[in-house]
Amino acid sequence: MEIVKLLSSLYNEIVPKVTFLPANVTVEFDPATMPFAEHGKQASLLDVAINNGITLEHACGGNCACTTCHVIVKSGDEQQLSEMEDDEADRLDMAPGLTLRSRLGCMAIVKGDVTVEIPTWNINYISEGGASMNMGDAIPPPKK
Ligand code: FES
């Protein structure tokens, strides 16, 4: 039985699963073979989302310059995602709806099984043209 647990653990490290809420879609990916979507860091939550047809807004192209890729980590401890760096923390401070488990999808590299929620207001906000939702200046208005 121990060998089964060990193999299962190794498999999960090699082929992490990411569940995106609220759609409740789970995808597996092999970081060694998944193509780089060229938005955000390679194997980031954004990279995984784009490679699997999951809509995760990324107004700045995954350059840690907006907060539209904001996600909330629902399960998976800190070892399942890369450690937050200072530039992500600084940018995240501007995210509306910030929580203690918030991350930027373009900066958080997936290292193991994790479940993240894409805030529904975030999905709607950008797709509806970025009009005011009384979130202050956290997200700049769209360019005309
Ligand atoms: S896409 Fe802009 S900060 Fe992540």
3 Cα: distance to centroid of ligand 1 (angstroms): 41
pLDDT at 142 over 50: no
Residue 46 to residue 58: CA distance in whole angstroms:
8
pLDDT for res 49: 96
Model confidence at 135, pLDDT cuts 50, 70, 90, reads very low
Sequence letter at residue 75: S
Highest mean pLDDT out of 11-15, 21-25, 34-38, 74-78: 21-25
Q: Which of 38, 39, 45, 69 to mutate to test the pocket of ligand 1 (most atoms within 8 A of CB)?
A: 69
54 Cα: distance to centroid of ligand 1 (angstroms): 15
2 Cα: distance to centroid of ligand 1 (angstroms): 41
Residue 120 to residue 117: CA distance in whole angstroms:
9
**When comparing pLDDT for 4 and 83, which is higher?**
83
**Residue 141 DSSP symbol:** P
Nearest residue (CA) to ligand 1, atom 3: 64
The domains of the chain, with CATH numbers, are 2-127 (3.10.20.30)
**When comparing pLDDT for 120 and 23, which is higher?**
23
33 Cα: distance to centroid of ligand 1 (angstroms): 24
Residue 64 to residue 103: CA distance in whole angstroms:
11
Model confidence at 121, pLDDT cuts 50, 70, 90, reads confident
Around ligand 1, the residues with Cβ closer than 6 Å are 58-60, 62, 64-69, 91, 104, 106
**Residue 38 DSSP symbol:** S
% pLDDT > 90, the chain? 62
Q: Which residues pair with 17 in a beta bridge?
A: 28
Give the range among 34-43, 76-85, 111-120, 128-137 with minimum mean pLDDT: 128-137
Which atom of ligand 1 approaches the CA of 39 most closely? 1
pLDDT for res 2: 82
37 Cα: distance to centroid of ligand 1 (angstroms): 14
Tens-digit pLDDT profile for residues 29-76: 988 888 998 899 999 999 999 999 999 999 999 999 999 999 999 998
Q: Which of 44, 55, 57, 64 to mutate to test the pocket of ligand 1 (most atoms within 8 A of CB)?
A: 64
Strands 70-75 and 102-104: antiparallel
Strands 17-21 and 114-117: parallel
